[in-house]
Structure 1
Amino acid sequence: MLHILPYLATQRLRDVRPVHIQRAMKEVAELSDSMQHKVLLTMRQLFTTARQNGLILSDPTEGVKTTSHAKPQKKTHLTLEEQEALMASLSDPRTRCFVGLCLYCGLRREEALGLQWGDIQGDKLTVNRAITFLGNQPDPVQELKTKSSHRVIPIPQPLQAILGAASRLDLHGVPCADGRPMTQIAFKRLWDKVVREAPCEVRPHMLRHSYATNLYRVGIDLKTAQYLLGHTTIQMTANIYTHMEKEDAAASVIQLERYLSGGSQEGSQARGNFSESSQKVVSGGK
């Protein structure tokens, strides 16, 4: 009521007009979306009750809206430095295995959980199944999302090391702690452990998107990237590449501004660092 009284307390009920409501809302426009909704809802309840009781003919809050705030774009992928820091922070073999499969091979969450040790042959793995959940339990039907999801993916050296150090006593590469196929609750516990140890913000799908970003950074062509990611259409892959091209364009403008202001040496160093990072992705080394 503190946000409403200064604009309505001196007005007779029938004299309140939409302009008075808009003035009140203008004063709270910089507050949170939830606070704006509370203020507007309070006024609407007041005037709806008044109209229902015949005290006013029309509701002055009709058509009045809150001021939407621009929300920061959600981060979609990890930088190469963040990827390395994340893997270095994980201590549990199961979390390392899950994160490694999604980050280094671009597996979807359900594909990583469905991977069995028999799907790994030498330096390649085959995506044969996916584990989704019915309630808490794994769905016995472990079909892949689409036909294009079935693919053979080369395993980079860092992931080979992770898989080589993992216990292979269980059927799945990422099982429950007791060896059973993953359940929804068990996965939540596993991911909570990742979040606690991670040095940066991370969500499961960010790992797969980071893999796609790495493919773009080292110049993998669209058709090959589509296959490796298991996308149904090449447009899905192109959308990721286009997004990265826009990011690169924005970064290029910044580099140009630095160059024009006398920072050419700094720009050269930045290009050198990018080249070095790209080689790391290609070789799978650190």
Structure 2
Amino acid sequence: MTAPSAALDADLQRHLVHLESERRLAPRSLVLYRDAFARLQAFAQAQPVSLRATQVHHVRRWAAQLHAQGLGSRSIALVLSAWRGFYRWLGHEGVVPMNPVDGVRAPKAAKPLPKALPVDQAVALAEPREDDDTDPALAARDQCIVELLYGCGLRVGELVGLDVRASGEAAGWIDAAEAEAQVLGKGRKRRSVPVGGPALQALAQWLALRGTLADPGEPALFVSRRGTRLTDSQVRSRLKRRALQAGLPTHVHPHMLRHSFASHLLQSSGDLRAVQELLGHANISTTQVYTKLDFQHLAKVYDAAHPRARRKP
């Protein structure tokens, strides 16, 4: 909904002149300010209340109406900022005793759900690939990386921090005999994560070829062509390349595999507390976002299969 294009109140017009001549705002910014002031004037006239007599409860109601009209949280925040500056200016002029916009905030924007791959795409990404243009050692390394990101739900920082063997200085390592990974997560909190059969097999294949790339004495489990520890950005680049080779229709990044691990595990087990422990979340509210992902999955199944589901044309 756009603001009405009426002549502005004298105070609002004077403030616009102040913004243009003294603050030297860009023309585009002045257009946005004028739009915000037109909205303010329209609300005040509908109340009705004079701009100089506006109170906090008026501003709260108007902000709620902007939200009801479909204006986004960021746009409402910009409008409130313009109003706040206007009343601050009136205060400096000695016209109003207080700023009615102080303390009024835009509604919080809804956090987007983390993106997870469908099960078939995650499995396709984890399948061993035979590419003529890839060094066998690099192929084995990348296969192991995917298996650990998706099979264990590791963060990319936890993955690149893994060493070949346990030591006093190691941030993390994999105990193949016990089928578990010891990782150092956020807040330097250590946790144990089970490692499945496919990941252990991929690990053994990578370790058999790791010596062809790694520098002598390099402790890192995953190394680059140069023989040194792999970086986060290098993992992202290799994962993007692998996703393209697998024909996945979406951009894949390491954290997407962590999201996929969590949502697929929750769909299968329904055990939120266990998923929390495996992900290393300090607060279960962080993990609860995956219950929304799980509901999304159920909703898609319902829409696709139930005879009474609402189907989009």
- Say if 1:255 and 1:132 are closer, same or farther in 2 by CA, change over 3 A: closer
1:2 equivalent to 2:34? Answer: yes
Partner of 2:254: 204
Unmatched runs of 5 consecutive residues or more in structure 2: 1-32, 166-172
Q: 1:46 aligns with which of 74, 86, 102?
A: 86
Q: Output the CA distance in 2 between the equivalents of 1:108 and 1:232.
A: 12
Partner of 1:99: 146
- Say if 1:204 and 1:100 are closer, same or farther in 2 by CA, change over 3 A: same
- Say if 1:74 and 1:50 are closer, same or farther in 2 by CA, change over 3 A: same
Partner of 2:189: 145
- Say if 1:232 and 1:194 are closer, same or farther in 2 by CA, change over 3 A: closer
Q: Output the CA distance in 2 between the equivalents of 1:24 and 1:217.
A: 39
Q: How does 1:203-242 map to 2 (within 5 A)?
A: 203-216=253-266, 229=278
Q: Output the CA distance in 2 between the equivalents of 1:232 and 1:66.
A: 29
Could you tell me how far 1:65 is from its partner in structure 2? 3.8
Partner of 2:100: 60
- Listed one character per residue, the Cα deviations across residues 60-92 of structure 1 (whole Å, up to 9, x for unaligned) are 3345443555454333x3221220343469976
> Which stretch shifts more, 37-46 or 163-172?
163-172
Q: Output the CA distance in 2 between the equivalents of 1:47 and 1:243.
A: 41
Q: Output the CA distance in 1 between the equivalents of 2:255 and 2:100.
A: 45
Residue correspondences, number? 241
Partner of 1:164: 205
Give the TM-score of the pair, scaled to structure 1: 0.58
- Say if 1:31 and 1:73 are closer, same or farther in 2 by CA, change over 3 A: same
Amino acid at match of 1:153: V
- Say if 1:132 and 1:73 are closer, same or farther in 2 by CA, change over 3 A: closer
Amino acid at match of 2:98: S
Unmatched runs of 5 consecutive residues or more in structure 1: 134-143, 262-286
Partner of 1:79: 118
Partner of 1:257: 306
Could you tell me how far 1:51 is from its partner in structure 2? 1.0
Could you tell me how far 1:256 is from its partner in structure 2? 7.4
Q: Output the CA distance in 2 between the equivalents of 1:132 and 1:14.
A: 50
1:174 equivalent to 2:249? Answer: no
Q: Output the CA distance in 2 between the equivalents of 1:202 and 1:87.
A: 12
- Say if 1:34 and 1:220 are closer, same or farther in 2 by CA, change over 3 A: closer
User: Match of 1:4, SS?
Assistant: helix
Q: Output the CA distance in 2 between the equivalents of 1:83 and 1:197.
A: 12
Amino acid at match of 2:221: G
CA contact (8 A) 1:22 1:64 kept: no
Q: 2:235 aligns with which of 190, 211, 214?
A: 190
Amino acid at match of 2:101: T
Q: 2:159 aligns with which of 91, 104, 112?
A: 112
User: Match of 1:3, SS?
Assistant: helix
Give the TM-score of the pair, scaled to structure 2: 0.54
Q: Output the CA distance in 2 between the equivalents of 1:131 and 1:21.
A: 42
Amino acid at match of 1:54: G
Q: Output the CA distance in 1 between the equivalents of 2:59 and 2:268.
A: 58
- Listed one character per residue, the Cα deviations across residues 150-192 of structure 1 (whole Å, up to 9, x for unaligned) are 45533227x735752673112533224422234xxx3223314
Could you tell me how far 1:26 is from its partner in structure 2? 4.1
Could you tell me how far 1:3 is from its partner in structure 2? 1.2
1:17 equivalent to 2:54? Answer: yes
CA contact (8 A) 1:25 1:36 kept: no
Q: Percent identity?
A: 23
Q: Output the CA distance in 2 between the equivalents of 1:103 and 1:173.
A: 17
Q: Output the CA distance in 2 between the equivalents of 1:66 and 1:222.
A: 32
- Say if 1:257 and 1:129 are closer, same or farther in 2 by CA, change over 3 A: closer
Q: Output the CA distance in 2 between the equivalents of 1:15 and 1:220.
A: 56
Could you tell me how far 1:59 is from its partner in structure 2? 2.4
CA contact (8 A) 1:14 1:56 kept: no
